[in-house]
Amino acid sequence: MVIVNSYALAVFLCFVIMLCWGSWGNTQKLAAKSWRYELFYWDYVIGMVLFALFLALTLGSFGTDGESFFYNIGHTSWKSVGWILLGGIIFNASNILLSASTSIAGMSVAFPLGVGIALVLGVINNYITNNKGNAVLLAIGVALVVIAIVCNGIASGMKGESNVSKADQKKGVILALIAGIVMSFFSSFVMRGMGNVTGEVPFIHPYATPYTASVIFTLGVFLSNILFNTIVMKKPFVGEPVTYQQYFAGNAKTHLVGMLGGAIWCLGTALSYITSKAAGPAVSYALGQGAPMIAAIWGVFVWKEFKGSNNKVYGLLGLMFLFFIAGLSLIVVAGM
């Protein structure tokens, strides 16, 4: 299988992770023109599973490093499988809430708040578990990210005219915050299933390789989605209930847009596992979670989610970007 041993390459790929995790929400925005997010989310999850299998059967099966996908999945312990499935279930619960927040409050609000909170708590959790990286620099970097989140929160409360009511806007913010808290826990469970409890990933049984972990993880997301998304479809946070009949009535283009979103997210996630050995789980996770900055760029400059806001709001958004960049830079240095 293909693995990464260079820290410099790992950090570069972490920025690719950031782009993937910060950009998949665009497919939800595209689909939202004619498609409820609860229906979009099924295509998103299916896209995840299919792309994880594609990576496992290609990059995960070629090369001389570690174990090939088929050999490894046959020798991965049930305990490791259980940890990774649990990570997938936890992630799915949080991501459904994040998708709901995105549909209500927009990318430039949901991602910085939700994924920003996940970044802060997740880095702390990963550092406690693996103890890799400079603790002082990580702490300062995380603190700067927190300031960026605060700036975004204040700006979202002051944004200009919107077709979303204040009550729904508040609901979107609350959903993002809950999503972030829940999301912060999933990564450590997946890393445990990969044997990464001391900062080193063995890439051999009884643990899962990054490619095996990606497949098991996305299957955990898919299986839990049967319960989670069915509930949300029947009891949506906003709007009328939707049905599976509506889902199957969707056209191919709409379904493919959702699957593309899942594939983009899955690429970022697989890379986060592949780079975790060279970069360290805390740094790999943290840089990937720089996605809020990317999502905010899409939301502010492409989707115009703050259109009509005053200069003070845009000033706060500028500070958010600066603090995010500074915080992420320190997190990179902390892993060197």
Judge whether 209 lies within some domain.
Answer: yes
Judge whether 84 lies within some domain.
Answer: yes
Domain containing residue 313? 7-334
pLDDT by residue for the chain (336 residues), tens only, comes to 888 888 889 888 988 998 999 899 999 989 987 799 999 999 999 999 999 999 999 999 987 777 899 999 999 999 999 999 999 999 999 999 999 999 888 888 888 888 888 878 877 776 776 676 788 988 898 899 889 888 887 887 787 656 667 788 889 889 999 999 999 889 889 988 998 654 555 667 789 999 999 999 999 999 999 999 999 999 999 889 999 999 999 999 999 999 999 999 999 999 988 887 787 766 666 666 678 888 888 988 888 888 888 899 999 999 999 998 898 788 777 866
Judge whether 1 lies within some domain.
Answer: no
**Closest residue by Cα to residue 187 from 97, 287, 96:** 287
**Which pLDDT score, from 0 to 100, does residue 286 have?**
65
Judge whether 39 lies within some domain.
Answer: yes
220 touches 87 (CB < 8 A): yes
Contacts 24+ apart (CB under 8 A), 58-63: 59/1, 59/2, 59/211, 60/1, 60/2, 60/209, 60/210, 60/211, 60/212, 61/1, 61/211, 62/1, 62/2, 63/1, 63/2, 63/3
Tokens of 81: 């499988």
**Which pLDDT score, from 0 to 100, does residue 238 have?**
87
Q: Where do the DSSP E strands lie in the chain?
A: none
Whole-angstrom distance, CA of residue 258 vs CA of residue 35: 10
Q: How far is CA 8 from the centre of its chain?
A: 22
Whole-angstrom distance, CA of residue 150 vs CA of residue 137: 20
Whole-angstrom distance, CA of residue 219 vs CA of residue 212: 11
**Closest residue by Cα to residue 156 from 168, 171, 173, 143:** 173
- Domain count within the chain: 1
**Closest residue by Cα to residue 44 from 284, 307, 247, 282:** 247
Judge whether 2 lies within some domain.
Answer: no
**Which pLDDT score, from 0 to 100, does residue 282 have?**
61
Judge whether 259 lies within some domain.
Answer: yes
Buried b (16+ CB within 10 A) or exposed e, 107-132: bbbbbbbbbbbbbbbbbebbbebbeb
| Distances 205 to 18, 22, 129, 130, 278 between C-alpha atoms, Å | 29, 32, 21, 20, 19
* Count of residues making up the chain: 336
Judge whether 71 lies within some domain.
Answer: yes
**Which pLDDT score, from 0 to 100, does residue 132 have?**
67
The packing angle between helices 281-288 and 7-23, to 10°, is 40
